[in-house]
């Protein structure tokens, strides 16, 4: 059997197995978690009424006038429900069912992209091992079925790194702009791709800075062109092109008192509040969350994450002329900036790990096949990391009666020191939470 044929068979087996497990996970995810409910209602509203009006509540103050708007309108990013609405309209799916279908589709796309990037990084073996980890990871399995958009964010991150490999080509510049524009329509966290892009271009074009500047401005122009219609809508509705109701969570965590005028809630934000935010974020949230993220990644990517750190250390101590991996800087900048923005938030939520895991799996796989010289040690690392990933996924699967893990707390406690997923299930069953939304 030729090497190419064997490779295709192994890739096919891994992907078929991964898709089968993810299909089973669709049946486990019967509870709608968190903001997934808002996106589901938005998808239904857009498909049925042609608007993003998600609620007609008028009996309580909100962050804008529900009475003036005719109810609650979508105050999150629009891409996820917009993608789901055709499935509601033309296939008679529920909003949640449509979102589950999307997460399944993009979960499959992520597997192909991880393999493609791994192969570009270090060849067939790196691609296969990274694909194996991504196939086995219960976090990626669950988020490929629970209707959450974070699996698409992971797709955007891996696709961005692939685009950066040949960013000297203008077709890759256009691709990067599209990825970043649609990423911004999905989640504001993808703004971390802007500094990642800037630093990659600064390093890649340090001998021809004008070429780097041209590409940077072109990517940003495409990104903002894609985002512009939503930015204009936000400015008309809320007075700010990048409006997000999520900032109310930050002000509440800072203890900023709410002010209520009629049916509108607002926060009196001053320069002193911004200074308090900077101090709280840098002195408290960031170090606490950075510790939590690193501790959790050791569990979610056993062996692999530690090896990824080893690769980073090795890279930093090499001579400049030996740093030839074009994939390393874009991948590591995306990883580090995403971890940084997640840590600077009041709580590093479990769903923020979804875009990080494929990147950790890729770098760890690269270390095994390109930094470990002894064949016996390499085989030990492959077997132990795959076995531990399987064990962690199995134990996570068994940790809750619904076999879901949106809120975490399965093998180690969540950021609140609890088993968040199990607490959510028990509260929902007891009637404290609405199981629908």
Per-residue pLDDT tens digits for 26-49:
999 999 998 999 999 999 999 999
Per-residue pLDDT of 249-302, as tens digits, reads 999 999 999 999 988 999 999 999 999 999 999 999 999 999 999 999 999 999
**What local confidence, expressed as pLDDT, does residue 58 receive?**
67
**What local confidence, expressed as pLDDT, does residue 1 receive?**
54
**What local confidence, expressed as pLDDT, does residue 323 receive?**
62
**What local confidence, expressed as pLDDT, does residue 437 receive?**
35
Cα 339 from Cα 316, distance rounded (Å): 19
pTM of the prediction? Answer: 0.95
- The answer as to whether 27 is a domain residue is yes
Residues written for the chain: 437
Determine the distance from the C-alpha atom of residue 163 to the mean position of all C-alpha atoms in its chain, rounded to a whole number.
18
Question: DSSP per residue over 74-101, as a string?
Answer: --S-SHHHHHHHHHHHHH---HHHHHHH
Cα 298 from Cα 321, distance rounded (Å): 31
Cα 342 from Cα 289, distance rounded (Å): 8
- The answer as to whether 435 is a domain residue is no
Contacts of 267 (CB under 8 A, 6+ apart): 248, 251, 256, 257, 258, 259, 273
**What local confidence, expressed as pLDDT, does residue 408 receive?**
86
8 Å CB contact between 303 and 360: no
Nearest CA to 18 out of 189, 134, 98 is that of 134
Cα 156 to Cα 40, 55, 110, 337: the distances in Å are 21, 30, 9, 14
- The answer as to whether 434 is a domain residue is no
**What local confidence, expressed as pLDDT, does residue 116 receive?**
96
**What local confidence, expressed as pLDDT, does residue 435 receive?**
43
- Tokens 């990391």 sit on residue: 385
Cα 37 from Cα 31, distance rounded (Å): 10
Per-residue pLDDT of 344-363, as tens digits, reads 999 999 999 999 999 999 99
DSSP state of 281: I
**What local confidence, expressed as pLDDT, does residue 210 receive?**
96
- The answer as to whether 164 is a domain residue is yes
**What local confidence, expressed as pLDDT, does residue 60 receive?**
82
- The answer as to whether 437 is a domain residue is no
**What local confidence, expressed as pLDDT, does residue 70 receive?**
87
SS3 of 260, please? strand
- The answer as to whether 436 is a domain residue is no
- The answer as to whether 26 is a domain residue is yes
- The answer as to whether 109 is a domain residue is yes
Cα 31 from Cα 210, distance rounded (Å): 52
Q: Dihedrals φ, ψ of 38, to 5°? A: -65, -45
Range of the domain at 226: 3-429
Nearest CA to 347 out of 259, 394, 280 is that of 280
Nearest CA to 343 out of 288, 380, 394 is that of 288
The structural domain count of the chain equals 1
Cα 430 from Cα 436, distance rounded (Å): 13
Per-residue pLDDT of 423-432, as tens digits, reads 888 888 765 5
Cα 114 from Cα 108, distance rounded (Å): 10
**What local confidence, expressed as pLDDT, does residue 436 receive?**
39
User: How many other CB atoms sit within 10 Å of the CB of residue 287?
Assistant: 11
**What local confidence, expressed as pLDDT, does residue 377 receive?**
95
Residues of the chain with pLDDT under 50: 433-437
């Amino acid at each position: 059997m030729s090497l190419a044929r064997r490779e295709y068979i192994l890739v096919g087996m891994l992907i078929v197995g991964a898709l089968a497990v993810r299909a089973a996970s669709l049946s486990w995810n019967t509870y709608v978690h968190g903001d997934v409910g808002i996106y589901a209602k938005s998808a239904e509203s857009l498909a049925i009424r042609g608007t993003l009006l998600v609620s007609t509540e008028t009996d309580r103050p909100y962050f804008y006038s529900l009475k003036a708007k005719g109810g609650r309108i979508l105050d999150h990013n629009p891409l996820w429900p917009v993608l789901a609405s055709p499935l509601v309209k033309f296939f008679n799916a529920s909003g949640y069912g449509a979102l589950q279908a999307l997460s399944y589709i993009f979960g499959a796309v992520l597997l192909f992209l991880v393999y493609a990037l791994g192969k570009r990084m270090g060849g067939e073996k790196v691609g296969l091992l990274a694909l194996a980890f991504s196939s086995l990871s219960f976090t990626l399995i669950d988020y490929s079925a629970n209707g959450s958009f974070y699996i698409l964010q992971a797709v955007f991150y891996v696709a961005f790194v692939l685009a950066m490999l040949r960013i000297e080509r203008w077709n890759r510049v256009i691709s990067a702009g599209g990825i970043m524009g649609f990423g911004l329509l999905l989640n504001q966290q993808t703004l971390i791709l802007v500094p990642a892009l800037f630093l990659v271009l600064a390093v890649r074009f340090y001998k021809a800075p004008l070429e780097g500047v041209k590409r940077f401005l072109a990517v940003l122009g495409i990104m903002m062109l894609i985002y512009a219609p939503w930015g204009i809508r936000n400015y008309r509705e809320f007075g700010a092109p990048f409006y997000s109701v999520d900032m109310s969570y930050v002000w509440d965590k800072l203890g900023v008192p709410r002010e209520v005028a009629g049916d509108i809630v607002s926060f009196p934000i001053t320069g002193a509040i911004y200074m308090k935010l900077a101090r709280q974020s840098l002195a408290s949230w960031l170090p606490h969350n950075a510790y939590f993220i690193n501790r959790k990644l050791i569990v979610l990517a056993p062996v692999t994450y530690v090896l990824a750190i080893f690769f980073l250390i090795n890279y930093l101590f090499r001579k400049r002329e030996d740093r030839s991996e074009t994939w390393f800087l874009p991948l590591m900048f995306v990883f580090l900036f995403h971890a940084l923005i997640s840590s600077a938030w009041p709580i590093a939520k479990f769903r923020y790990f979804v875009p990080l895991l494929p990147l950790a799996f890729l770098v760890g796989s690269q270390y095994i096949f390109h930094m470990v010289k002894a064949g016996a040690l390499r085989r030990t690392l492959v077997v132990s990391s795959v076995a531990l990933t399987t064990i962690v996924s199995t134990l996570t699967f068994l940790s809750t009666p619904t076999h879901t893990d949106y809120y975490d707390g399965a093998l180690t406690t969540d950021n609140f020191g609890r088993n968040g997923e199990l607490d959510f299930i028990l509260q929902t069953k007891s009637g404290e939470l609405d199981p629908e939304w």
